[in-house]
Amino acid sequence: MKIKNKVVLITGASGGIGAATAKAFHQAGAKIAIAARRREKLEEVANELNNFLILETDLSDEANVVEMVDEVIRHFGRIDILVNNAASIIVSPAESVTSEDLLLAFKTNLIAPVIATQRAIQFMKAKDGCHIINVGSPGFMMGIPFYAPYVCSKAAFSAWTRTLQAEVAGSNIVVSEYFPGYVRTDSRPESRVGDVEQDFLMSDKANAITRHFTKPQTPEEIADQLLNLAQHPKLLTYSSFAVRIGAWIALFSSFRLNLAKEMADTARKKQKLP
């Protein structure tokens, strides 16, 4: 698929993967709509773009999500590619995670992209070459410790994505699922266990296998892969061979548990958790 002059809506575009993806698609000649809660951050991203639209959007608000898509249609007249990238990441022990945290995660990580996709598809059905890219997470396969709200909502998102793929198969709309691994960004998760660094699960003393599977990638690397995925659509893409192998290893319960336990032990030592 040619990207030049395509209208691309990217959620979670105020930083990290979303911002890098906006720049990558812009360089390929796309018209960019960037959405996130923090308008000032979106404006910083837009300084490097031409032919853009800023959408200050609270993805936990369903009406806001519908308005986001409608504004893209009003401004550009169409929407060709939707990148559902935004995510709420809440750190909390599974045994004490609250229903409020689970609801927040599900609103942002599942309900928002579902609504955005449902609204966008209404306009996509009338034209060819439309593409929905859902940025998921293989973390639910491993059971990432202290990330219960995130991995639970991402598991549901993956299930919905695959259901949608089956329902639109053979139509003019392609739905892709993208699984990044650990990506180093400048943002910190929302924590219920005190102030945490993004890499609080990682340890330089971890075994070689764990270090291999948790080797961080940059937002720019992920953005290049998302651009390539838009140009060459696939049903499922992993960000690296290590991530693909990690997903396979997760099928072996004892091995998966050993890797996840090592991360949990690291987090307990860093955060002085029980």
Residues noted as catalytic: 150
Structure tokens belonging to residue 267: 């987090």
Phi-psi region of 64 (alpha: psi -120 to 50; beta: other; left: phi over 0): alpha
- Measure CA 131 to chain center: 16
Beta bridge partners of 129: none
Calculate the CA dihedral of residues 85, 91, 95, 101 and round it to 10 degrees.
-60
DSSP string, 196-251: --TTTT--TTS-HHHHHHT--B-HHHHHHHHHHHHHS--SEEESSHHHHHHHHHTT
